């Protein structure tokens, strides 16, 4: 089933006349076309798309299942949607996207419409992946793994974090990525205790841990990977912390399956870190949803009460961060199944010393 058909089924399930998509990722999800501007209107039996002159030619050529119309200064998007709706009244919208001001404008211009939130429904559609989506995610992971193997021969004592980040970006694009899925994190030595630290001009030294968190997007789907490597040598403490993080990740992956709450996956991983005495140094969730965006809904975090389903894709990334000393994070991406999970990562996780 394609994403347009899934969205049309959502219309039927929620007893909606139509769903209006304004978010650029949701539009990409349902149309397969990435544009910075546009509106998609989906009814149970039809589909409409409007965009501006920058994208109209490619939209007309590629969106065969859609009625396509160009938006102009004289004929704006709201006017086009109004004509598409006709007598339709009950319309789903992305309430987590619209500002109050934007919603007031839609209400003013379309006063007879009953607006119904579909944000949760769209998030769930995107969270449960079809086999073809898993293949795209896997392709992005393979490029990311290739770059990680290459970077091991590039990163050297004396380089800066910023230089390593530049190498990651260059190599991701060189090997087929459409773009990075986020700005790479490269942090070394004491900076590696910053989970989302930005690469800077710190020079990598012998005995440092270097954490690299990076990924790419291919055909609209993202990869995400984190590895922590040691430069030259690793102390006993560094080895011990690394081992705890790895065991934590394996425990979380072992607990991951369809039918469990996201928080239960997190708790299984967190227990390993707590039992080792490092509980206060693990402050984030075990994992987040991954798909067309690198951070998506449905996750494995301590606050996630929802039951996860087969086909959902999450990261598996526990960490320990010792302030002013070092940090360790290891991240894979897994697909939940009825009996467990499938790891999309096909690369070793034992401590690497360069």
pTM for this entry: 0.94
* Residue 92, pLDDT above cutoff 90: yes
Q: Is the confidence at residue 1, as pLDDT, over 90?
A: no
Q: In whole angstroms, what is the distance from residue 80 CA to residue 84 CA?
A: 6
Give the domains, in start order, of the chain with CATH numbers. Answer: 3-127 (3.40.350.10), 131-343 (3.90.230.10)
What single string gives the DSSP state of each residue in 212-258? EEE-EEETTEE--EEEEEESS---HHHHHHHHHHHHHHHHHHHH--T
Q: Are 106 and 97 in contact (CB under 8 A)?
A: no
Res 136 pLDDT > 90: yes
Beta bridge partners of 334: 314, 343
Q: Give all strands (DSSP E) within the chain, no chain letters.
A: 18-21, 39-42, 47-51, 67-70, 90-93, 114-117, 179-180, 185-188, 209-214, 216-218, 221-222, 225-230, 287-289, 296-300, 313-316, 319-322, 326-329, 332-336, 341-343
What is the overall mean pLDDT for the chain? 97
Structure letter (DSSP) for residue 54: T
- Give the pLDDT mean for 248-265: 98
Give tens-digit pLDDT for 4-49: 999 999 999 999 999 999 999 999 999 999 999 999 999 999 999 9
Q: pLDDT, tens digit, for every residue of 169-225? A: 999 999 999 999 999 999 999 999 999 999 999 999 999 999 999 999 999 999 999
């Amino acid at each position: 089933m394609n994403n347009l058909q899934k969205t049309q089924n959502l219309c039927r399930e929620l007893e909606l006349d139509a769903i209006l998509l304004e978010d650029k990722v949701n539009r990409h999800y349902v149309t397969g076309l990435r544009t910075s501007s546009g509106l998609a209107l989906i009814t149970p039996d039809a589909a409409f798309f409007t965009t501006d002159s920058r994208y109209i030619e490619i939209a007309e050529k590629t969106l065969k299942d859609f009625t396509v119309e160009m938006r102009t200064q004289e004929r704006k998007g709201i006017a086009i949607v109004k004509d598409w709706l006709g007598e339709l009244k009950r319309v789903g919208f992305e309430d987590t996207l619209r500002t109050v001001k934007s919603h007031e404008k839609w209400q003013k211009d379309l006063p007879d419409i009953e607006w119904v939130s579909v944000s949760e429904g769209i998030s769930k559609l995107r969270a449960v992946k079809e086999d073809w989506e898993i293949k795209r995610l896997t392709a992005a992971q393979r490029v990311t793994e290739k770059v990680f193997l290459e970077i091991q021969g590039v990163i050297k004592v004396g380089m800066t974090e910023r230089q390593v980040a530049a190498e990651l970006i260059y190599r991701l694009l060189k090997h087929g990525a459409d773009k990075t899925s986020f700005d790479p994190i490269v942090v070394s030595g004491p900076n590696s205790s910053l989970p989302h630290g930005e690469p800077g001009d710190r020079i990598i030294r012998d005995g440092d841990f270097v954490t690299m968190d990076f990924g790419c997007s291919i055909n609209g789907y993202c990869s995400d990977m984190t590895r922590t490597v040691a430069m030259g040598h690793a102390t006993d403490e560094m080895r011990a912390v690394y081992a705890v993080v790895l065991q934590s990740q394996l425990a979380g992956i072992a607990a991951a399956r369809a039918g469990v709450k996201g928080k239960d996956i997190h708790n299984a991983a967190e227990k390993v870190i707590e039992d080792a005495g490092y509980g206060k140094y693990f402050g984030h969730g075990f994992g987040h949803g991954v798909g067309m965006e690198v951070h998506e809904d449905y996750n494995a975090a301590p606050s996630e009460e929802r039951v996860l389903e087969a086909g959902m894709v999450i990261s598996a990334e526990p960490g320990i961060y010792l302030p002013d000393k070092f940090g360790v994070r290891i991240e894979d991406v897994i697909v939940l199944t009825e009996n467990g999970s499938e790891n999309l990562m096909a690369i070793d996780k034992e401590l690497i010393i360069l």
